[in-house]
Homo-oligomer: A and B are copies of this chain.
Amino acid sequence: MTTMDTRKPQAQPNAGVTDAQRAEIDEQRAVSSPTRRATVAAVEEILYEPLPVLDHGFVRVIDYMGDDAAVVQAARVSYGRGTKRQRDDQGLINYLMRNWHTSPFEMCEIKLHVKLPIFVARQWIRHRTANVNEYSARYSILDNEFYIPEPEHVAVQSSTNRQGRGDVLEADEARRVQEILRDDAMRAYAHYEQLLNEGPDGSAADPEHPSLARELARMNLSLNFYTQWYWKTDLHNLMHFLRLRADAHAQWEIRAYSDVMAGILERWTPMTHRAFVDYRLGSEQVSRQGMEAIRRMLKGEAVTAKDVGMSPGEWRELMATLETSEER
């Protein structure tokens, strides 16, 4: 597992949103009300802002419940704020994370508005412990927006990792791939519109032809078209998502979302984020055999994969883990 890039997300004014949408967002950002609830200034700062991902996607924080102190408060089943000195709180959060106490982290919740390519949405939805409300292409018309990977992400099939990508393509080959993808997506959308055959006033654009049902026409669109949804989950499951999707085995496109969400996590619950980096992202699950190897190596023995019954692949991974440090 690689250490995640936890850079703070940069809000870009018009990432993936129209001017009308931008105006709606600004209007909502302008309203402020007093509350007795836990608030987090660093999240309020970016609330409702589209944080750009890929060429047309974004992540927007729509709402949040709780903060680091709420984790502590729940763990103690407190009557008041439940928090003591900051140092004690970090200690308790570390303890909870280390010992896989998940309930206190479930007591915080976050709601996001995400715009993402359909093939990314298909991976994302496999995380079942979340609430989702997706834009309906049965009910509404999808926008003409599709994902085309940047040349630096257009790569060959990996020869070692059967579900991943290997070396990046030469510039002209990457361009060729982009062109094929773009042409097909544009043709697909043109036909989608032709099948829908809806004029600006709702009547048929071309009166010679019928207006095909939206739920049928949409099947002509390809998996790189953008969809969007409201997605809500708790802090524990957010971290579970980030842990799996920040992994080097995850597809680069979903990791791009995961990176932005890790930045949100850091803003929202900095103590929990720190414990997450120490006890999850930066940690290693070392197998029974791996522990045996480490113990014997620490005693000065020269150990081989065979000595402890590990496969060559596992051994390579273990050795990489034990030698590398900075780059990970």
Contact = CB atoms under 8 A, between A and B. Distances in A.
B173 A180 contact: no
Interface in A233-264: 234, 244, 249, 251
Number of copies: 4
A210 to B, nearest CB: 5
A214 B21 CA distance: 35
Contacts of A149: 216
A279 B283 contact: no
A277 B289 CA distance: 10
A205 interface: no
Interface in A176-234: 176-177, 180-181, 184, 187-188, 191, 194-196, 198, 209-216, 218-224, 228-230, 232, 234
Nearest to A146: B219
Contact of A232 (B29, B109, B139, B292): B109
Interface of A: 17, 21, 24-25, 27-29, 31-39, 44, 47-48, 62-66, 70, 73-75, 77-81, 91, 94, 98-100, 103-104, 106-107, 109, 111, 113, 117-119, 122, 125-126, 128, 131-136, 138-139, 147, 149, 154-158, 162-166, 169-170, 173, 176-177, 180-181, 184, 187-188, 191, 194-196, 198, 209-216, 218-224, 228-230, 232, 234, 244, 249, 251, 277-279, 281-292, 294-295, 297-298, 311, 314, 321-323, 325
A35 B39 contact: yes
Contacts of A28: 36, 80-81
B111 A155 contact: no
Given A109-B232, A173-B210, A191-B180, A37 B27 contact: no
B103 A132 contact: yes
A259 B161 CA distance: 37
A185 B47 CA distance: 41
A163 B184 contact: no
Given A163-B214, A181-B219, 13 more contacts: A35-B39, A37-B63, A62-B73, A74-B230, A77-B230, A98-B287, A122-B122, A156-B213, A163-B215, A181-B220, A282-B287, A284-B286, A285-B285
29 contacts: A17-B79, A62-B73, A74-B230, A77-B133, A77-B228, A91-B311, A103-B131, A103-B133, A106-B131, A107-B111, A107-B133, A118-B223, A128-B128, A149-B216, A155-B213, A156-B210, A157-B211, A163-B214, A165-B213, A188-B188, A215-B251, A219-B222, A219-B224, A222-B222, A222-B223, A278-B288, A295-B325, A297-B298, A298-B322
Contact of A33 (B39, B162, B180, B244): B39
A24 B118 CA distance: 33
Contacts of A91: 311
A16 to B, nearest CB: 11
Contacts of A165: 213, 215-216
A99 B161 CA distance: 13
Given A163-B139, A165-B216, A35 B36 contact: no
Residue among A132, A133, A281 facing the most chain B CB atoms (10 A cut-off): A133
